[in-house]
Structure 1
Amino acid sequence: MVFIVRSFVGNFDQRIAIRNTWGAKTNLRIKTLFVLGYLERLQPLVDFENEEYGDILQFGFVDTYDSLVYKTIIPIDWLVKRNINTKYVHFLDDDRLVNTRRLHQFAVNSLGITESKIIGCRLRFRQPFRTKSSKYFTTLEEYPFNFWPSYITGGTILTNMKVVKNLA
C-alpha cells in the first residue's frame, strides 16, 4: 500500500509526526510519500528534509490552498509513469491519523484489486460557497448550478492501482 500524503511545504512537524508514528510501521509493506508544492523561502529546509528521509515528491507549482488539487492529480500520473507495484493507494492530508493494519485489512476485504472503486466520505446535495470571504468561494461563472454533483471529500481517499491507472 502506498500512502500519498498531501502536505503544505511548511508543515515539517506534521511530516515528522507521521514518520514517527503510523508512517513508520513496518509490519506491512507500506510506503509513505509526502507531496509538496514549492515555496522558494523554504526550499533549503525541504532539500535537507528530503536528503534525510527520501520520502518527498515535490512539484513545481506554488504551494497554496488553491493548488491542493494538484497534490492528488500529479501523483496519479507519477504512480503510473513509474509503474509503481502496489495494490492499494491511499490519498490523505497530513492532519490524518491512520491505523495502517486496519486500513490494509479494510482494503483487502472491501476493495478488490480489479474493482473500479474509490472509497471515501461521499457528500451529496452540497451547495457551492458564494460568500467571497470563504476559501471555498465559487463564482456563478465558474459553476452556475445550485448544487454540486455527489463527490468524495479529499481528506482521505482509498483506491487501487486499477483506478489510479484509469484516472491517469
Structure 2
Amino acid sequence: MLIVFPRLPLHFIAPGASSNSGDLSPHPLTAFWNLRLVDGALWNRLQHLQDRQHNPILNGNSTGGRTLATGHTYMHGTDASPPCGPDHLWASQVPDFNTMPEQMQDFILSMHCRHYMLLMDQPDLCIGQDTESKAPMLLMAVKSQVGHFENRQAIRETWGRSGWVKEETGGKRWQVRTVFLLGRQDTTTGPHPDLGALLQLESNRHRDILQWDFRDTFFNLTLKDVLFWDWISMHCSHAHYIFKGDDDVFVRTGALLDYLNEHQASSQGANDRAKRREEFLAGDVIANALPSRQPTTKYYIPESFYKGLYPTYAGGGGVVYSGALAMQLQEISQWVSLFPIDDVYLGMCLYRLGVSPVHHLGFLTFDLPQADREKPCAYHRVLLVHKRDPKEMLTLWRQLRPPLPEC
C-alpha cells in the first residue's frame, strides 16, 4: 500500500504522554515518520525515497540521488540528472518486466528522464503581459500530436481562439492565449510520413506550438504537464488561470470565462478566500479509483509497479486551475516520481500540496447521453464535453454562439 504523509497544521502538537513533574515536555509515544519501504512496487519505493529525501527533519537540505536496495541510483530531476535515454538497469527492479506491455516497458526504462530539449518554443506568447494586471485571464494549454493538424485548426477557429474573448453572460472581454503541447512524432508503430516540415510551417504561421524532444505516446503525456509547468514558470507566470485539455474536447469558452470571473471575484479580500483562489482546480473529480490490472487495457498498471488506490484526481479530457497553483505544481512535481497516467500524476501532486480539486458538473468527460448529443439545448450547462472531432467542434461552435436558443 502507498505510504502517504498528510500535511501537518502550522502549529502541530504531537500526541504523547505529559510529565507529571512539569520538567519534561510532552513527547510522542511512537515514531511519527515511517521509514519502512513499500515492498514489491517500484513507483511506491521510488516515491518513498523522494518523500524521505524531501523531509527537512530527516535530511536537512541534502540533495542528490538516493539508492534502492539493489544499488540503483534514482535522481529526482535536477540539472545533475544523467542524459535522458533508456536505462535498462530499471528492468531489474520489476520481476515481471519481460511480460509487461511495450508501453509500460518503455515508460519504466525512461522514467528517470524529465528534462527534454524544446524543438519549437514560443517565448513571446505572453510578451507585454508580464504583470498581473496585463496577464492573460486564461491560458489554454492543449495536448496534441504532430499529425492532428485538423484538430488544432478547428480549435483555433472555435473555442481556442486567441485574443479578446467575451464572456457568455457577463459581457466583459478577457485576454485568452492558446498553446499546443506536442512531443516528437512516434514512428515506432509503423511507417509514417515525416510531418516535420508541415509542423514547422504551422508553427511559423500561428506561433502557438510547443514541441519537446520526446516520443509522443500515451504514457508520456505526463511529461507534457511537467515540461509545460517549467515553461509557464519562465514565460507566462502571471496568467490568472490555466486550462489544460486534450485536442478532442469542446469547450464553451465564454461560459468558462463566466465561471472563472465569478470565482475570481469571490476570492478577493480575506486570506482564506485568497488561498482558495491560489489553490483552485476544477474538473470531473474521481475519488477512490483503483488502477486497472487488465493487461489488455490502455490504462493497465502492473501491481509490481504501483500498489494502492489512486489519489483523488480530475480526469479525462480537461481541467482548469489557477496560475498560482501552476507555480506550486511546478515546484512539487520535482519531488513526485513520474507516473504513466497524466491525470493521476496531477492528483499525486495535488495530494502532496494538500489541495482538493473541485468537482464541477459542467465537465462532461464521459459525454452527454447519446440521445442529447445533437440537441443544442443540452449544452447550456456544459463547460467541456469529450470527445468531439473537428467537424463536430465547428458545428457546435455555430450552434452555441450567443444569444443561445430558448430552451
Which residue is equivalent to 1:144?
307
- Percent of matched pairs sharing the same residue: 29
- Consecutive unaligned residues in structure 2, runs of 5 or more: 1-137, 166-173, 188-193, 268-273, 331-407
Indicate if the aligned counterparts of 2:278 and 2:323 stay in contact, CA closer than 8 A. Answer: no
CA distance in 2 between counterparts of 1:20 and 1:44 reads 22
Q: For 1:128-167, what aligned pairs fall within 5 Å after superposition?
A: 128-145=291-308, 147-167=309-329
Secondary structure of the corresponding residue to residue 229 of structure 2: helix
Shift, 1:165, TM fit: 0.8
Which residue is equivalent to 1:117?
280
- Consecutive unaligned residues in structure 1, runs of 5 or more: none
Match for residue 63 of structure 1 among 216, 223, 226: 216
CA distance in 1 between counterparts of 2:236 and 2:148 reads 29
Shift, 1:83, TM fit: 4.1
Shift, 1:72, TM fit: 1.6
Q: For 1:9-88, what aligned pairs fall within 5 Å after superposition?
A: 9-24=146-161, 26-27=164-165, 28-39=174-185, 41-88=194-241
Shift, 1:85, TM fit: 2.9
Question: By percentage of residues, which structure has more strand?
Answer: 1
| CA deviation profile, 1:3-55 (whole Å, cap 9, x unmatched) | 00001221111001101112226333100100000127221121111011111
Higher relative contact order (CA 8 A, sep 6+): 1
| CA deviation profile, 1:96-142 (whole Å, cap 9, x unmatched) | 11111110121122354743121111111222111111111100011
Indicate if the aligned counterparts of 2:237 and 2:327 stay in contact, CA closer than 8 A. Answer: no
Secondary structure of the corresponding residue to residue 138 of structure 1: coil
Which residue is equivalent to 2:242?
89
- Give TM-score, length-normalised by structure 1: 0.91
CA distance in 1 between counterparts of 2:149 and 2:219 reads 20
One-letter identity of the residue aligned with 1:54:
R
Please identify, of 67-76 and 29-38, the stretch whose mean Cα deviation from structure 2 is larger.
Answer: 67-76
One-letter identity of the residue aligned with 1:97:
F
Aligned residues: 167
Structure 1 consecutive aligned stretches of length 4 or more whose deviation exceeds 3 Å: 111-114
- Give TM-score, length-normalised by structure 2: 0.39
